[in-house]
Amino acid sequence: MILVIDAFNAIYKFDDLEEHMHRGQLESAMVGFTKKMAALRNSWKKPLEIHIFFDGKKKQGDDTDRENVAGLKCYYSHDQSADHQIKQFLIACQSPGEVRTVSSDKQVQYFAKKSRSHVQSSEDFAKWVKEVLSNSGPDPEQGKEDPKMTQRDMAYWMDMFKRGKK
């Protein structure tokens, strides 16, 4: 799976990172988000390629337009919008069916759907990330676990099957 994330759209959906944004700690929120995405990639059982698109510059005076951070591909839009860069990425993508575009921006969602990419709102994405990182939710890619049967349950069912054979 390939994740394409509208970063500032998603950052506000994580309480700890939203607080950094409200305090004006932009760089801290960005670093926190990339750490969270690296943890997601490491927790996910299947290969996961993550592309994070940030509006503006990495930090004031920095001309970096893209970089790899902990195995994540991060893009900084400078004078363009992250939305524009996401659209350009989707246009160039050779397998859009493998892409999940994460944004709550209606125009980005519409373009992603039109490009045959899967779409997930930032709100749903944040819930999914929290579930994966806490291991409290099921893995949507795998079947459910078999419940463990107690000795008493086993004896009950064995008795039921024996009765049915008569």
pLDDT at 139: 47
Q: 17-39 as b/e, with b when 16 or more CB fall inside 10 Å?
A: beebbeeeebeebbebbbebbee
Structure tokens belonging to residue 134: 């806490």
> pTM for the complete prediction?
0.76
Q: Which of 83, 152, 71 is nearest to 111 (CA)?
A: 83
Instruction: Count CB neighbours of 42 within 10 A.
Output: 11
Q: Is 53 left (phi over 0), alpha (psi -120 to 50) or beta?
A: beta
Q: Do residues 93 and 112 touch, judged by C-beta distance below 8 A?
A: no
For the chain, the structural domain boundaries read 2-139
Domain range 2-139, its CATH number among 3.40.50, 3.30.1580, 2.30.30, 3.90.220: 3.40.50
CA angle 16, 17, 18 (to 5 degrees): 95
| Per-residue pLDDT reduced to its tens digit, 111-166 | 999 999 999 999 999 999 999 988 744 444 443 344 556 777 677 767 767 766 55
